Amino acid sequence: MMEFFFDFAAPDQSFWEAYEHLWYNSKYKSSFQAPHFLRYLASLVFGTLVTVTCYKNGVLLGATFFYKRGNIYHFLSDMKTDHNFFILDRNITSEETDVYFDKLVREIEARKWNLRLNNLPFWASYTESLLKALRKSRLFFQVTRYNPCLVLEEATPEELYQATNKQKLRQKLNRLKDQGDVQFDVYEKDEHLDHWLNEYYEAHIRRWADTPTPSQFVSTDRRDFYKSCLQAWIADEIVVRFSIKLDDKRIAFVVAVIENGYLVHHSTTFDPDYEKQSPGLIIINLIGKWMAERGMTKMEFGDGGEKYKYQFSKTELPLNQIFISQPHNYPFILHTRLVQFMWEHQEAHKFYSNKLRPKLLRYHYLKKIIT
């Protein structure tokens, strides 16, 4: 017998212990739904958090976290993510999966929720169960395209390394070595965390200065948030920080997370003074070697189709988004149609991403400071 609960109270210690066990035994074990990471995010949205749980014989079989922003519910992990999975026990049956999503969708309909589910990995095995439940309902829902997720996956660790070990990058690395002592640093705990992050923030701010999308790290609040995310991932034992140091100065950075034995290239930046040397590409070559030495055969480049990612992989996994509301919520439906239009017409999407959105973000940030 499966039991379902929609809990609006802050989860207690016993729940987090049960969730940690569920996450370790889930099929996808996503870093963006890791226990300490979600627990930190949950602490930021007190009063708007909803935890949807499913138990069978007293054992937690599935858990999904949402939070309300405005009048729309989002995945809790949307606050800092590359993809948002539903966390289900790996041994859940297809019939139980159908029941889970059918119950979830019926509750959404009964509670008259609006949802925007971003960064959905449509390669997840439960996707058809979710869509089937939505089709059976009276709800309005719309699946729209999202950013691509590029993946480099090879049969052996050596092949993965060779896919990153391009001659042009070896030449650039040699030229960089002509300028001084080059060191490749790897940190899996909190070693030198504050100093490393300060260098990362400084490089990120300089890298994106005078662009349509300036760095959010000019905000102290954003810096504190990012550090806390890393500390949560350190507690989950799934984060790796990579950097290239030239003499005493770090000039390239990557924060990666580990999922099911492979690496997600999550966030990156470099010192713009060394742009011609391509340190952001050289570091991928060095990471490829580090991965091969540990028997890894897959590197996922996370959310986004930046050009540099296509130098290493042309395999794209589908990330989509789903909008859900009551059938007569016309303002929400109109907004959904507009978002869909933006994603289907690249010129309009580029205008929004490069011109309109940065101005809106800047306005929101200034308004927050003033008020």
Give the mean model confidence (pLDDT) for residues 270-293: 97
- Is residue 322 in a domain? yes
1-52 confidence digits (pLDDT tens)? 899 999 999 999 999 999 999 999 999 999 999 999 999 999 999 899 999 9
Provide the 10 A C-beta neighbour count for residue 128. 14
218-245 confidence digits (pLDDT tens)? 999 999 999 999 999 999 999 999 999 9
Which of the four pLDDT bands, split at 50, 70 and 90, describes residue 339?
confident
- Is residue 345 in a domain? no
Task: Please tell me whether residues 173 and 261 are part of one structural domain.
Answer: yes
Which of the four pLDDT bands, split at 50, 70 and 90, describes residue 367?
very low
pTM given for the model: 0.91
- Structural domains in the chain (count): 2
Confidence at residue 32, expressed as pLDDT on a 0 to 100 scale: 98
- Is residue 64 in a domain? yes
Phi, psi of 180 (to 5 degrees): 160, -170
Task: Please tell me whether residues 122 and 169 are part of one structural domain.
Answer: no
Range of the domain at 230: 155-296
Task: Please tell me whether residues 24 and 159 are part of one structural domain.
Answer: no
For residue 7, the domain's CATH number is 3.40.630.30
Task: Please tell me whether residues 82 and 102 are part of one structural domain.
Answer: yes
- Is residue 302 in a domain? no
- Is residue 81 in a domain? yes
Give the mean model confidence (pLDDT) for residues 333-339: 91
Task: Please tell me whether residues 110 and 171 are part of one structural domain.
Answer: no
The answer to whether residues 94 and 125 touch, using CB atoms and an 8 Å cutoff, is no
Phi, psi of 60 (to 5 degrees): -65, 120
The proportion of the chain whose per-residue pLDDT surpasses 70, expressed as a percent, equals 93
Task: Please tell me whether residues 23 and 84 are part of one structural domain.
Answer: yes
Task: Please tell me whether residues 184 and 256 are part of one structural domain.
Answer: yes
Task: Please tell me whether residues 170 and 117 are part of one structural domain.
Answer: no
Which residues neighbour 160 within 8 Å (Cβ) at sequence distance 6 or greater? 152, 153, 154, 288, 291, 292, 296, 297, 298, 299
Confidence at residue 360, expressed as pLDDT on a 0 to 100 scale: 55
54-107 confidence digits (pLDDT tens)? 999 999 999 999 999 999 999 999 999 999 999 999 999 999 999 999 999 999
